[in-house]
Amino acid sequence: MKNNGSLRRLLLAAPFLACFSSCNRSPEHYFEQGNRMAASGRMEKAIALYNRALLLKKGYPEALTSRGLAYERIGDRQKARFDYEKAVEIAPYYAPAQNNLAAVYMDMGDYRGALRRLSALLSKGPDNAHARLNRGICLYRLSDHAGALPDLSRALELDPGLTLARYHRALCYSKLGYAAQAAADLDVLLGGFPEVAALRFERGRLRYNSGDLAGAYEDFEKAAALRPGEASYLYWLARAESGRGAYASALEHLDSALNASPDHARSWLLKGDILARSGDSARALESYSRAMEADRANAGIYRARMAALEHAAVRGKERPGARGR
């Protein structure tokens, strides 16, 4: 399940400003109108209105933050970052600006930079659900799964509707070996989102690791149907079939994976293993070779498989010709 940026941002609600209802030139009026345009998806018009608000009131962190979010939604991350940074400069602990700026860092892959900002924000307001969510995701991405759990759980306590928090908590539980807790979170999510391939896939891996190959196959098959051509889903579908001894079907799934992604090394490796098991040494060697081409960093794994296969072939040739005198 990919991280949906819009779920990690805080959209500023347009304030109720009755006192400005008769004044069309106040910065608050333009800010309110900008938020209405943004809510209806008219981002260019929203930005123009935020610009007018900021012309009248330069130190206006709310307008800067909303304009930054509008820039993000039209794909201009650089301008968005500038607006968030300016808002933070004006109001250092203004939560929406800090949270959205941290999310930009996350989108750029700078999880440590985002973590510093989020931790500073949470030191001032520990009950910010979105900041908890984002910090939990940062810790997960930095492989601190145990550290991520408290933040993700607290985010869900504060806002049970944060599906990304539940999803990442399930991933953390899985990484830490808490299969039952991970499955419980995924079951809740699938109850509301049965057609999300990533959820099916993650539950399939849990089932596979617990030995439920039939259940794993069911989830992998559904995930692959929801996202045709996803090599990793087809690879795991093949693993479930191979584990049940359905080698012909597993090879078909692997061929589909490799048609979609010719450099998917894990699929070449599994194909080689299945072919070697069935006695097709020549094609197995070819598969291992293709895996090694696609994944030079782990060349030793594939060379070992090839050497073992060649050694077995030599021994097989020697046995029939041996004679005693």
Confidence of residue 320 (pLDDT cuts 50, 70, 90): low
One-letter amino acid at 73 equals: R
Structurally, the chain folds into a number of domains equal to: 2
State which of 108, 128, 157 marks the end of a domain: 108
pLDDT at 310: 86
Residue 249 falls inside a structural domain:
no
Residue 135 falls inside a structural domain:
no
Instruction: State how far the Cα of 152 lies from the Cα of 164, in Å rounded to an integer.
Output: 9
CA angle 253, 218, 284 (to 5 degrees): 25
Q: Which residue range(s) make up the domain with 301?
A: 262-316
Instruction: State how far the Cα of 178 lies from the Cα of 172, in Å rounded to an integer.
Output: 8
Residue 312 falls inside a structural domain:
yes
Instruction: State how far the Cα of 8 lies from the Cα of 46, in Å rounded to an integer.
Output: 20
Question: What are the tens digits of pLDDT across the range 254-309?
Answer: 999 999 999 999 999 999 999 999 999 999 999 999 999 999 999 999 999 999 98
Residue 219 falls inside a structural domain:
no
Question: What are the tens digits of pLDDT across the range 78-133?
Answer: 999 999 999 999 998 899 999 999 999 999 999 999 999 999 999 999 999 999 99
Residue 93 falls inside a structural domain:
yes
Residue 123, Cβ density class (10 Å: 0-12 exposed, 13-18 middle, ≥19 buried): exposed
Chain centroid offset of residue 187 CA = 18
Per-residue pLDDT, averaged over 37-44, amounts to 96
What mean pLDDT, rounded, does the chain reach? 90
Q: What is the pTM of this model?
A: 0.78
Beta carbons within 8 Å of 220's beta carbon, 6+ residues apart: 200, 201, 204, 208, 233, 236, 237, 240
Per-residue pLDDT, averaged over 230-246, amounts to 96
Residue 270 falls inside a structural domain:
yes
Question: Nearest CA to 230 among 204, 252, 259, 265?
Answer: 259
Instruction: State how far the Cα of 158 lies from the Cα of 165, in Å rounded to an integer.
Output: 11
**Where residue 38 sits, what CATH number does that domain have?**
1.25.40.10
State which of 60, 87, 108 marks the end of a domain: 108
Length in residues, the chain: 325
Instruction: State how far the Cα of 253 lies from the Cα of 265, in Å rounded to an integer.
Output: 14
Beta carbons within 8 Å of 55's beta carbon, 6+ residues apart: none
pLDDT at 19: 39
Contact 270, 235 (CB under 8 A): yes
Percent of the chain residues topping a pLDDT of 70: 89
In the structure encoding, which two tokens stand for residue 185, read together?
């979170």
Question: What are the tens digits of pLDDT across the range 134-174?
Answer: 999 999 999 999 999 999 999 999 999 999 999 999 999 99
Confidence of residue 311 (pLDDT cuts 50, 70, 90): confident
Residue 212 falls inside a structural domain:
no
Instruction: State how far the Cα of 100 lies from the Cα of 230, in Å rounded to an integer.
Output: 31
Residue 294 falls inside a structural domain:
yes
Helix axes 163-176, 197-209, angle to 10 degrees: 20
Q: Is the dihedral of CA 138, 99, 103, 114 positive or negative?
A: negative
Confidence of residue 13 (pLDDT cuts 50, 70, 90): very low
DSSP structure string for 78-98: HHHHHHHHHHHHHSTT-HHHH
State which of 108, 143, 168 marks the end of a domain: 108
Instruction: State how far the Cα of 189 lies from the Cα of 268, in Å rounded to an integer.
Output: 33
Beta carbons within 8 Å of 85's beta carbon, 6+ residues apart: 101
